[in-house]
Amino acid sequence: MRVLNPDRRPLVAGNWKMHTTPQSGVELARAIVRAGPPDGVDLVLCPPAIAVTDVARAVVGTSIRVGAQNMHWLDSGAFTGEISAPMLAGVAEVVIVGHSERRADFGETDEMVNGKLEAALAAGLTPIVCVGETESVRDAGGAQALITAQVEAALAGIGSTAAEPLVMAYEPVWAIGTGRTASPAQAAEAIGWAREALSDALDAAAAQRTRILYGGSVSPSNARDLLTQDGVDGALVGGASLKADDFIAIARSAVS
């Protein structure tokens, strides 16, 4: 199984959410290629499922990789509307698992996240597992406990070797799509909690090699402050990833 990057090279992923058609997705991917992906950072585009194949074709021959935003935990079956890890594996290299919008809006539980992670790893995909607290949990002082519980639950029964390609993303729910970013210190602290939980769930070496991204209203203007924090290994970008120049500016911040 190929690890995208064993040295925690920065990774910047664009989560396009439910935006773009196959055609406009290809145009956006081409614009991102034209804008000039910087060296030294892994760039991942995660279009809607229907655009994954076309966007993957559009970036062939570049260093950009393509991922999906979600998948089912089983390989096949009577699950109308779903796609599975083996289906994705022929087209994509990455998949986002456990995004807070899936957890909050589609009833995705920790157990489902665990099953999806296991299936993604078995299919040779690089999973980006999302964790993060709501504002009320943070206000009540429960952020660390929740992040720890989410990491533990996601990794239950998964060994350190199997989890080698794992990427995680700390996305505080209160910062997603709100224009309110976690402060660089808050992001670094929470990512530290997630890494500690990873060390307990897997082992210290796995925690050290796993890239943990920050997500939540990342923009060209705040990216540098966030991405230069110790332990912040890149960004999972929503809104700003839909503009080629903004996305590339964020990627540049990760390496300059």
Active site residues: 99, 171
Task: Considering the complex, state which of residue 192 and residue 234 has its C-beta at the smaller distance from ligand 13P.
Answer: 234
Task: Considering the complex, state which of residue 85 and residue 218 has its C-beta at the smaller distance from ligand 13P.
Answer: 218
The count of chain residues that interact with ligand 13P, using the rule CB under 6 A, is 14
Task: Considering the complex, state which of residue 127 and residue 239 has its C-beta at the smaller distance from ligand 13P.
Answer: 239
Q: Which two tokens stand for residue 136?
A: 């009320």
* Interface characters, 81-100, with ligand 13P (x: CB under 6 A): ------------------x-
Q: How far is the CB of 58 from ligand 13P (least distance, A)?
A: 21
* Interface characters, 224-243, with ligand 13P (x: CB under 6 A): ------------xxxxx---
176 binds ligand 13P (CB under 6 A): yes
Closest CA to 12 of 216, 214, 245: 214
Task: Considering the complex, state which of residue 17 and residue 195 has its C-beta at the smaller distance from ligand 13P.
Answer: 17
15 binds ligand 13P (CB under 6 A): yes
28 binds ligand 13P (CB under 6 A): no
54 binds ligand 13P (CB under 6 A): no
Binding site for ligand 13P (CB under 6 A): 15, 99, 171, 176-177, 215-218, 236-240
